[in-house]
C-alpha cells in the first residue's frame, strides 16, 4: 500500500500520533491532514495547566514545528472543515469545495465543549476551555483579576479554579453534585478536592445549577437555581464535552456515544478508522467498550490507528490514564469504572497529608487507581488493573504491604 493516499480528518494529538505511526511504519504515499483549526496539532493538557497559569507561552503546546510536517511530506490543510464524507466513493469534501480521494481515512475529529443553555450564556465573557485560542482568551481574563464563577467542578473546572486563584481572582464554583468529581471518584475522594480548593480560598455552591447569567453592558453575575446571585466579571463553563460525530453520521457510520470501532480502531465502514475523543472502541484488556476523552487515549489511540491504517495487526488495549496539577498537588489516575458499577473506594494513606493512593474495587478486582503526590506508583496501579487478579482490601490499605502481592 506504499502509494495509497491516507487522509486524517482532525488536527489534535491523535492526528499527529497517527502521522508518526504512518511515516515511521514506512508508508511513502501521500498523507493529508485536514483540520478546521488554524493551528498545527497541539497538546491540550497545557491549556488548563501551564499556559492558563501563565508559566508557559502558547508555543509550548505545539507537538511539532512546521518543518516536521514538511520533512514527512504531509499535505497540511489548516483552517478548513471537512463537510462531506463519502464512505463508498472514498472521497471527502472540504468547506472550500475541494474534494480529496482517499484509500484509507482516519476520523480524529475530537470533541466539543458542551454549551450552557441558559439566558445570558451568549455573552462575551462567558468562556469555555477547549482550544488554544480559548485558552489565551481566558488567560487574559484571569490576569485581569476580578470575580470568576466556574460552572462545573470536573477536571477542567478544578484546574481553571487553581489557575484563577493563582492570578489572584476571587473564585466560586457551581456544581450540581455534592462534591467535585462525584461521578468519577465518588463522594469520599471528592471531599478531598473540596478541602483542597477551599484551603486556597475557593467557594463552592453544591447541589444546584445556573438559572441565568446577568449583565449590564457585560457579565455582572450568575443567578443560581437556588435563587442566589453571585457577582462575576468572568464565567467559565466546564460541563463536559460531546464527541464530534457529525461527519461520521452523515457518512452512515455506526455511531453511539462516539464512532463505534473494534479493537483495531476500524469503524463500520471499510478503510475508515477513528481515534481519540471521538472513538468508542472495544478495549480487549478491560473487556468492554469505552470512549475516553483524556490525553493518553489520543496519544496511544492515534498511534495505534496509524499502524492499523497500514494493515498491521493492532489491538488497542491501553488502560485509560490521565493526570492533573492543582496548586501543589500532582495526581495520576488510571483505569475505568463503568457508570453502572458500584465500586468500593479504598484509601492508602491519609488525604489530609496531600499524599495518598485511592483504589476503586469491584468484585475483588481493582478497576481504577489514583495517586496524589505519591510518585513511582503508577506502574503498579496499571499492573493491578491489567492483571484482573483478586486483591485483598487490607493489603491495598496498608502502605507497608507491596501493591502487587495477590490476595
Residue 407 placed within a domain: no
Alpha-carbon distance of 167 to 72, in angstroms, equals: 41
Q: Write the burial class of residue 324 (CB in 10 Å: 0-12 exposed, 13-18 middle, 19+ buried).
A: buried
- Is residue 128 within 8 A of residue 236, CB to CB? The reply is yes
pLDDT of residue 164: 97
Give Cα separations from 204 to 32, 114, 128, 223, 371 (angstroms). Answer: 46, 21, 19, 14, 24
CATH number assigned to the domain comprising residue 16: 3.50.50.60
User: Considering 237, 261, 285, which residue would you say is the last residue of a domain?
Assistant: 237
Q: Residues with Cβ < 8 Å from 298, sequence gap 6 or more?
A: 12, 13, 14, 17, 108, 110, 275, 276, 277
Q: Which of 70, 15, 9, 13 shows the shortest CA–CA distance to 42?
A: 13
Alpha-carbon distance of 390 to 277, in angstroms, equals: 31
Cβ count near 96 (within 10 Å): 10
Residues 131 and 82 in one domain: no
User: Considering 199, 217, 237, which residue would you say is the last residue of a domain?
Assistant: 237
pLDDT of residue 1: 62
Residues 196 and 342 in one domain: no
CATH number assigned to the domain comprising residue 381: 3.30.390.30
pLDDT of residue 388: 87
Residues 289 and 219 in one domain: no
Give Cα separations from 283 to 245, 263, 287 (angstroms). Answer: 20, 6, 6
- Is residue 242 within 8 A of residue 209, CB to CB? The reply is no
Residues 26 and 83 in one domain: yes
Residue 405 placed within a domain: no
Alpha-carbon distance of 97 to 93, in angstroms, equals: 6
Residues 122 and 228 in one domain: yes
Q: Residues with Cβ < 8 Å from 138, sequence gap 6 or more?
A: 52, 127, 129, 160, 234, 236
What is the pTM assigned to this prediction? Answer: 0.94
Bridge partners (DSSP) listed for residue 119:
none
- Is residue 305 within 8 A of residue 297, CB to CB? The reply is no
Q: Write the burial class of residue 256 (CB in 10 Å: 0-12 exposed, 13-18 middle, 19+ buried).
A: exposed
pLDDT of residue 339: 79
Q: Phi and psi at residue 81, in whole multiples of 5°?
A: -100, 140
pLDDT of residue 286: 86
Report residue 306 as a C-alpha cell.
496509524
Residues 102 and 160 in one domain: no
Residues 302 and 219 in one domain: no
Residue 316 placed within a domain: no
Q: Phi and psi at residue 397, in whole multiples of 5°?
A: -75, -30
Residue 300 placed within a domain: yes
Q: Sheet containing 104-107: which strands, arranged edge to edge? A: 74-77, 31-34, 6-9, 104-107, 272-274
- Is residue 77 within 8 A of residue 32, CB to CB? The reply is yes
Q: Which residues of 9-43 are buried (b: 16+ CB within 10 A; e: fewer)?
A: bbbbbbbbbbbbbbbeeebeebbbbbbbbeebbbb
Residues 83 and 128 in one domain: no
Residues 127 and 233 in one domain: yes
**% helix / strand / coil in the chain, to the nearest 5?**
30, 30, 45
pLDDT of residue 287: 87
Alpha-carbon distance of 267 to 252, in angstroms, equals: 11
Residue 402 placed within a domain: no
Residue 139 placed within a domain: yes
Residue 314 placed within a domain: no
Q: 296 lies in which domain range?
A: 6-112+241-309
* Residue 255: DSSP 8-state: B
Q: Sheet containing 219-224: which strands, arranged edge to edge? A: 210-215, 219-224, 229-231
Q: How many domains does the chain have?
A: 3
User: Considering 181, 215, 237, which residue would you say is the last residue of a domain?
Assistant: 237
Residue 365 placed within a domain: yes
pLDDT in tens, the chain (407 residues): 679 999 999 999 999 999 999 999 999 999 999 999 999 999 999 999 989 988 788 999 999 999 999 999 999 999 999 999 999 999 999 999 999 999 999 999 999 999 999 999 999 899 999 999 999 999 999 999 999 999 999 999 999 999 999 999 999 999 999 999 998 999 999 999 999 999 999 999 999 999 999 998 889 999 999 999 999 999 999 999 999 999 999 999 999 999 999 999 999 999 999 999 999 999 998 888 999 998 999 999 999 999 999 999 999 999 999 999 999 999 999 999 987 788 999 999 999 999 999 999 999 999 999 999 998 899 999 999 998 889 999 999 999 898 875 44
Residues 230 and 344 in one domain: no
- Is residue 149 within 8 A of residue 235, CB to CB? The reply is yes
Residues 67 and 131 in one domain: no
pLDDT of residue 407: 46
Residues 122 and 233 in one domain: yes
User: For the chain, how big is the Rg over CA atoms in Å?
Assistant: 22
Amino acid at each position: 500500500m506504499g502509494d495509497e493516499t491516507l487522509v486524517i480528518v482532525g488536527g489534535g494529538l491523535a492526528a499527529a500520533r497517527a502521522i508518526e505511526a504512518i511515516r515511521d511504519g514506512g508508508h511513502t504515499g501521500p498523507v493529508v491532514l485536514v483540520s478546521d483549526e488554524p493551528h498545527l496539532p497541539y497538546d491540550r493538557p497545557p491549556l488548563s495547566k501551564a499556559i492558563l497559569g501563565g508559566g508557559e507561552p502558547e508555543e509550548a503546546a505545539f507537538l511539532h514545528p512546521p518543518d516536521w510536517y514538511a520533512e514527512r511530506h504531509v499535505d497540511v490543510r489548516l483552517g478548513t472543515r471537512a463537510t462531506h464524507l463519502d464512505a463508498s466513493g472514498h472521497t471527502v469534501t472540504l468547506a472550500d469545495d475541494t474534494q480529496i480521494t482517499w484509500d484509507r481515512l482516519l476520523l480524529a475529529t475530537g470533541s466539543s465543549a458542551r454549551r450552557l443553555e441558559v439566558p445570558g450564556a451568549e455573552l462575551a465573557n462567558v468562556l469555555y476551555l477547549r482550544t488554544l485560542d480559548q485558552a489565551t482568551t481566558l488567560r487574559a481574563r484571569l490576569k485581569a483579576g476580578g470575580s470568576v464563577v466556574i460552572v462545573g467542578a470536573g477536571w477542567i473546572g478544578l484546574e481553571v479554579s487553581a489557575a484563577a486563584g493563582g492570578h489572584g481572582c476571587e473564585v466560586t464554583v457551581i456544581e450540581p453534585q455534592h462534591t467535585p468529581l462525584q461521578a468519577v471518584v465518588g463522594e469520599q475522594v471528592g471531599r478531598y478536592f473540596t478541602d483542597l480548593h477551599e484551603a486556597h480560598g475557593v467557594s463552592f455552591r453544591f447541589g444546584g445549577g445556573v438559572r441565568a447569567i446577568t449583565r449590564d453592558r457585560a457579565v455582572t453575575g450568575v443567578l443560581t437555581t437556588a435563587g442566589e446571585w453571585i457577582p462575576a466579571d468572568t464565567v467559565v463553563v466546564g460541563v463536559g464535552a460531546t464527541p464530534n460525530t457529525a461527519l461520521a453520521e452523515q457518512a452512515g457510520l455506526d455511531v453511539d456515544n462516539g464512532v463505534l470501532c473494534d479493537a483495531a480502531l476500524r469503524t463500520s465502514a471499510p478503510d475508515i478508522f477513528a481515534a481519540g475523543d471521538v472513538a468508542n472502541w472495544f478495549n480487549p484488556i478491560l473487556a468492554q467498550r469505552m470512549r475516553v476523552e483524556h490525553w493518553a487515549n489520543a496519544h496511544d489511540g492515534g498511534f495505534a490507528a496509524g499502524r492499523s491504517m497500514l494493515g498491521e495487526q493492532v489491538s488497542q488495549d491501553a488502560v485509560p490514564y490521565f493526570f492533573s496539577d492543582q496548586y501543589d498537588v500532582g495526581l495520576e489516575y488510571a483505569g475505568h469504572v463503568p457508570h453502572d458499577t458500584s465500586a468500593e473506594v479504598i484509601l492508602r494513606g491519609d488525604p489530609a497529608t496531600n499524599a495518598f493512593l485511592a483504589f476503586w474495587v469491584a468484585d475483588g478486582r481493582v478497576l481504577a487507581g489514583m495517586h496524589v503526590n505519591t510518585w513511582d506508583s503508577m506502574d503498579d496501579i496499571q499492573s493491578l488493573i491489567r492483571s484482573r487478579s483478586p486483591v485483598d482490601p487490607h493489603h491495598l490499605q496498608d502502605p507497608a504491604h507491596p501493591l502487587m502481592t495477590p490476595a
